[in-house]
């Protein structure tokens, strides 16, 4: 841990100071952002006490962002820097470490409640990608021309939102789309399940990676004010995720969109939220641009139920999610399904606030790959990292994932998340899949590994410890270990080890 923390410090200092003329030229964007971040944090520390005690009705303030208000006009400046070091030993006999830094500057202008304009610029860079690196490091290196360093500077978001009438918002431009977070609630347990267990299963940005994914398109949100919320979008995803150097370039041959209808908690059932959604996905990339020989057109319909209920000395929670797909997949007729069932019990009155959760994730596989049907559930453009093992070895396709989770909070600033996964293939005539969807014009976005007749796909343990110093500074450390078996029996090295240390500055 100490070695990884020193590496993070060296990464931040080395990026700012540079070690050669060429590195200084390459790193000027990130160094500038880092220096600005440090300056703003110092200014914030000096002014936060007075600003919090006596916030002016007009003028500038230093919390939660750096913002200025003048009548109906409001301007906010946001800045985030994330430093992370990762080590991987994914089915190899060597352990490799690489370092990453990502900074973002966001500027938002609002005119009353009528209009909002937001832009966000990102600088992302990765260092020390060894030719022998494995796991995520191998993916980053593969899409950086096999170089040890990758970087990019790009506009990550740029959108205009208007609210012509009460409850209606229309947003156009480059924007994040994280399906499942349209309606949020203030309680911490609701926030956690909504963000980390129910959202982005099929549509997400893959924020865990250093480039992420954005979308060029249109979204509309309408809140009736009577317990119902409707969200619709149509967009084209950008490049990014593991492709650092091509991050946020357009992908014009992929179109997708959908509608989500949320019945807020307490509207139809006490402390229960109901959601229905419909999605379409159309990938017409040529083989030269990472597509399949024929197009992929998939329609997905589904829904979820989420609730929290007092039970004895604690709170019981339940999440049920299901989806069914039809369409065409590379000239084959496509039909597939998936389901999720999770339940938990939290004793918030105990010192460590223990929260135990159990569940299963199921995504169908294809029992006869040689016929004219395709029955493997298609994961679309998700964020998979929170769900199917933090080592990111599985996609939500031909998968059965039984898991147990224990979360502890021994202090208001400290959180510990422990998970145990038992993986199987839903159908041993199909393959094991990995990936998070299309992210450039070189690969389809999902890779597959033949099952060779095995159903067993490994056991994984995950542990993540985080500490929030304050609202501006946090540190997180994580470790994952996957025991390969079954489909990995023919590998000389069956297991995967992954660990990281991450520092995040926000202002």
pLDDT category at 130 given cuts 50, 70, 90 is: very high
Instruction: Report whether pLDDT(47) > 60.
Output: no
Instruction: Report whether pLDDT(30) > 50.
Output: no
Residues 179/258, Cβ–Cβ less than 8 Å = yes
Q: How far apart are CA 279 and CA 305, in angstroms?
A: 18
Mean pLDDT value across the chain: 90
Instruction: Report whether pLDDT(301) > 80.
Output: yes
**Which of the pair, 218 or 370, is modelled with greater confidence?**
218
Q: How far apart are CA 240 and CA 445, in angstroms?
A: 11
**Residues with Cβ within 8 Å of residue 3, at least 6 apart in sequence:** none
Q: How far apart are CA 420 and CA 389, in angstroms?
A: 8
pLDDT for position 491: 81
pLDDT category at 235 given cuts 50, 70, 90 is: very high
pLDDT for position 488: 87
- If phi over 0 gives left and psi between -120 and 50 gives alpha, with beta otherwise, what is residue 167? left
- Residue-wise over 268-297: b if at least 16 C-beta within 10 A, else e? eeeebbbbebbbbbbbebeeebbbeeebbb
| Token pair of 312 as six digits | 């004895």
Of 9-13, 187-191, 483-487, the poorest mean pLDDT is in 9-13
Q: How far apart are CA 96 and CA 86, in angstroms?
A: 8
Q: pTM to 2 decimals? A: 0.88
pLDDT for position 446: 97
Of 48-52, 88-92, 244-248, the poorest mean pLDDT is in 48-52
pLDDT category at 207 given cuts 50, 70, 90 is: very high
Instruction: Report whether pLDDT(193) > 90.
Output: yes
pLDDT for position 258: 98
Residues 132/59, Cβ–Cβ less than 8 Å = no
Longest dimension (CA), the chain: 70
pLDDT category at 339 given cuts 50, 70, 90 is: very high
Q: Mean pLDDT throughout 158-162? A: 98
**Which of the pair, 37 or 75, is modelled with greater confidence?**
75
DSSP secondary structure string, 478-501? EEEEEE--GGGTT-SS--EEEEEE
Q: Distances in Å between the alpha carbon of 218 and those of 80, 177, 234, 383?
A: 26, 10, 6, 20
Q: Mean pLDDT throughout 440-447? A: 95
Instruction: Report whether pLDDT(50) > 80.
Output: no
Residues 298/281, Cβ–Cβ less than 8 Å = yes
| Tens-place pLDDT, residues 380-409 | 999 999 999 999 999 999 999 999 999 999
Q: How far apart are CA 304 and CA 265, in angstroms?
A: 12
Q: How far apart are CA 376 and CA 427, in angstroms?
A: 9
Q: How far apart are CA 306 and CA 265, in angstroms?
A: 9
| Tens-place pLDDT, residues 456-500 | 999 999 999 999 999 899 999 999 999 988 898 878 888 999 999
Instruction: Report whether pLDDT(21) > 60.
Output: no
**Residues with Cβ within 8 Å of residue 290, at least 6 apart in sequence:** 438, 440, 441, 442, 443, 444, 445
Residues 237/247, Cβ–Cβ less than 8 Å = no
pLDDT category at 20 given cuts 50, 70, 90 is: very low
Q: What percent of the chain has pLDDT over 70?
A: 88
Q: Mean pLDDT throughout 155-167? A: 97
DSSP secondary structure string, 222-246? EE-SSSEEEEEEEEEEBS-TT-STT
pLDDT for position 64: 65
pLDDT for position 63: 64
Instruction: Report whether pLDDT(52) > 60.
Output: no
CA-closest candidate to residue 44, choices 69, 61, 68: 61
């Amino acid at each position: 841990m100490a070695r990884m923390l020193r590496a993070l410090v060296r990464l931040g200092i080395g990026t700012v100071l540079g070690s050669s003329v060429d590195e200084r030229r390459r790193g000027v964007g990130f160094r500038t952002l880092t220096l600005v971040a440090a300056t703003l944090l110092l200014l914030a520390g000096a002014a936060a006490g007075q600003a919090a005690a006596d916030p002016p009705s007009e003028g500038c303030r230093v919390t939660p962002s750096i913002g200025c208000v003048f009548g109906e006009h409001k301007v906010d400046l946001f800045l985030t820097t994330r430093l992370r070091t990762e080590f991987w030993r994914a089915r190899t006999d060597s352990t490799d470490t690489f370092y990453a830094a990502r900074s973002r500057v966001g500027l938002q202008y609002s005119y009353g409640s009528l209009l909002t304009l937001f832009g966000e610029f990102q600088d992302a860079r990765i260092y020390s990608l060894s030719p022998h690196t494995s796991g995520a490091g191998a993916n980053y290196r593969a899409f950086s021309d096999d170089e040890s360093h990758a970087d990019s500077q790009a506009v990550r978001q740029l959108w205009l939102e208007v609210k012509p009438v009460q409850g209606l918002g229309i947003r156009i431009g480059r924007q994040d789309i994280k399906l499942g977070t349209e309606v949020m609630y203030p309680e911490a347990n609701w926030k956690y399940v909504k963000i980390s267990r129910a959202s982005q299963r099929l549509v997400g940005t893959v924020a865990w990676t250093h480039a992420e994914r954005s979308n060029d398109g249109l979204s509309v949100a309408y809140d009736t004010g009577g317990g119902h919320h409707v969200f619709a979008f149509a967009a084209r995803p950008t490049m990014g995720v593991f492709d650092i150097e091509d991050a946020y370039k357009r992908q014009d041959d992929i179109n997708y969109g959908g509608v989500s209808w949320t019945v807020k908690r307490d509207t139809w059932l006490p402390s229960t939220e109901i959601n229905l959604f419909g999605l379409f996905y159309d990938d017409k990339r040529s083989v030269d641009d990472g597509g399949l020989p024929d197009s992929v057109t998939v329609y997905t319909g589904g829904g979820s139920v989420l609730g929290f209920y007092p039970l004895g000395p604690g709170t019981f929670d339940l999440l049920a999610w299901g989806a069914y797909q039809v369409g065409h997949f590379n000239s084959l007729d496509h039909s597939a399904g998936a389901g999720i069932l999770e339940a938990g019990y939290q004793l918030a009155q105990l010192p460590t606030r223990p929260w135990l959760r159990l569940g299963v994730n199921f995504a169908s596989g294809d029992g006869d790959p040689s016929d004219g049907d395709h029955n493997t559930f298609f994961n679309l453009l998700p964020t998979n990292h929170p769900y199917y093992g933090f080592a990111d070895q599985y996609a939500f396709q031909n998968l059965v994932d039984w898991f147990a989770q224990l979360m502890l909070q021994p202090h208001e600033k400290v959180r510990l998340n422990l998970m145990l996964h038992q993986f199987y293939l839903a159908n041993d005539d199909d393959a094991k899949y990995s990936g998070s969807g299309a992210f450039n014009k070189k690969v389809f976005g999902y890779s597959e590994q033949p099952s060779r007749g095995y159903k067993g796909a490994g056991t994984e343990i995950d542990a993540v410890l985080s500490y929030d110093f304050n609202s501006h500074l946090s540190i997180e450390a994580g470790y994952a270990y996957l025991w390969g078996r079954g489909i990995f029996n023919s590998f000389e090295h069956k297991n995967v080890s992954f660990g990281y240390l991450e520092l995040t500055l926000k202002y």
